[in-house]
Chains A and B, each alone.
Chain A
Amino acid sequence: MKTSYTREDTKDLFAQLRETGDPEIRATLARLHLPLVEYLAKRFRDRGEPLDDLIQVGSVGLLKAIDRFDLQRGVEFSTYATPTIVGELKRYFRDKGWAIRVPRRLQELSLRLNKVVATLTQQLGRSPTVSEIASHAGVSEEDVLEALESGQAYSTTSLDAPSGADDSDSPMRMDRMGEDDIALDNLEYFASLAPLIAELPERERTILFLRFFRGMTQSRIADHVGISQMHVSRLLTRILEFLRRGMDNGDASF
């Protein structure tokens, strides 16, 4: 799709946005650059994820880029935004992390169930049961359990990598994430954990805080952070594992 805006329009919009903070302008900028997201998302299309999901993930990157972009830098916004969007997409695959071990059949089922879970959660106003998921998806309860298990079982390595490979340039700023400071204060109460928690990417830290300090349900966290409940579930499992392993290595009491 050809867009009719020009580079100058983009600059003007950014200037206005910085001045007024108007969410409408932010939305306009996001809309104008959606083709960039679509273009980049397509590059990841052969990895077995629905394109729509990839565009959604990429859009998160776009919004981050919009919030961080500094006109003074003298680079085009699209140049600036591309690595952020690609970074978000890469992180998405890294989070999913199930490169080889999980059979394709289960990957596909798991992706499908992801959507069923989201739909049912919406409909029921609570987390669905396995039998509800099974009957809605037209598969057996055994299949659902197997898919859920496989979703949990895949690689836990990505959190071992130093954090911030994709977002080390500036702290992640999520719109509704005013809690971050509180989160750190609370978590640092557990002094021995603080260095480990500091290694977590900001989003993981937020999820950890919301689940265990705020007692927020996975579904609510999912809404809050803008990812699926099953994704929250996988991240939580991995965060705990990461902290546990870190504590074991550090010889401190957990």
Chain B
Amino acid sequence: MDAPTVTLRVPPLADHVTLLRTVVGGIAARRDYTLEEVDDLRMAVEEAAVLLLRHTDGTPLELRAVVEDDQLQVELSTEVATPQTVIDPSSFSWMILQALTDGLSTAVEGTTASLTLVKHRQHTDHHAEGQG
């Protein structure tokens, strides 16, 4: 079975970045991520969303959170006016995102630019019960 997936689409405005952050934080918290992991994710989502906002052509920001057993994969995407990567791997943002996540990738397909963040769940004590 496919991993449960949460999607959310918001207007490309800074006001809505908080919402994306809250949703991802909420998912992670309910999946028994530790407080620091939740926090890392929230910060990473915000950072990624802001990056995309800088490049969007005005279409909504889309968030897709794939909730897997031991990791959460969050993809943020939007349409860009000129197809180009939204983040330079030598930038400060990239370094921040790397420090906050366990996996990081960026892609451009056609006019859709995306950033994908992966966060592992370290603390898995409650995990087995949750599957019952």
Interface residues of A (CB under 8 A from B): 117, 126-131, 133, 141, 144-145, 148-149, 152-153, 190, 193, 211-213, 215, 217-219, 229, 233, 236-237, 240, 243-244, 253-254
Contact = CB atoms under 8 A, between A and B. Distances in A.
B34 interface: yes
A130 B29 contact: yes
Given A145-B26, A212-B96, A240-B47, A129 B36 contact: no
A129 B25 contact: no
Nearest to B40: A218
Given A128-B35, A129-B29, A219-B36, A193 B92 contact: yes
Interface string B43-61: 1001100110000000000
B91 A253 contact: yes
A117 B88 contact: no
Interface string B2-42: 00000000000000001000100110011011111111001
Contacts of A149: 22, 25
A126 B92 contact: no
A252 to B, nearest CB: 10
B36 A218 contact: yes
Contact of A128 (B18, B34, B96): B34
B30 A141 contact: yes
Contacts of B34: 126-129
Contacts of B123: 126, 129
B1 to A, nearest CB: 25
A238 to B, nearest CB: 11
A153 B19 CA distance: 12
B8 to A, nearest CB: 16
B107 interface: no
Contacts of A145: 25-26, 29
A240 B37 CA distance: 17
A129 B95 contact: no
Interface of B: 18, 22, 25-26, 29-30, 32-39, 42-43, 46-47, 50-51, 88, 91-93, 95-96, 99, 122-123, 126
Contacts of A133: 35
5 contacts: A126-B34, A129-B34, A212-B99, A218-B39, A254-B93
A213 B96 CA distance: 9
A253 B25 CA distance: 27
Contacts of A244: 47, 50
B126 A129 contact: yes
Contacts of B26: 145
Contacts of B38: 130, 148
Q: Which 7 A-B pairs have the closest CB atoms?
A: A127-B34, A127-B36, A130-B29, A212-B99, A190-B92, A129-B32, A127-B35
B43 A236 contact: yes
B25 A237 contact: no
Nearest to B22: A149
Nearest to B90: A190
Contact of A253 (B42, B88, B95): B88
Contacts of A236: 39, 43
B36 A217 contact: yes
B99 A129 contact: no
A129 B123 CA distance: 8
Nearest to B32: A129
Nearest to B96: A212
Given A145-B25, A190-B91, 10 more contacts: A126-B122, A129-B33, A130-B32, A131-B32, A145-B29, A152-B42, A217-B36, A229-B35, A233-B39, A240-B43
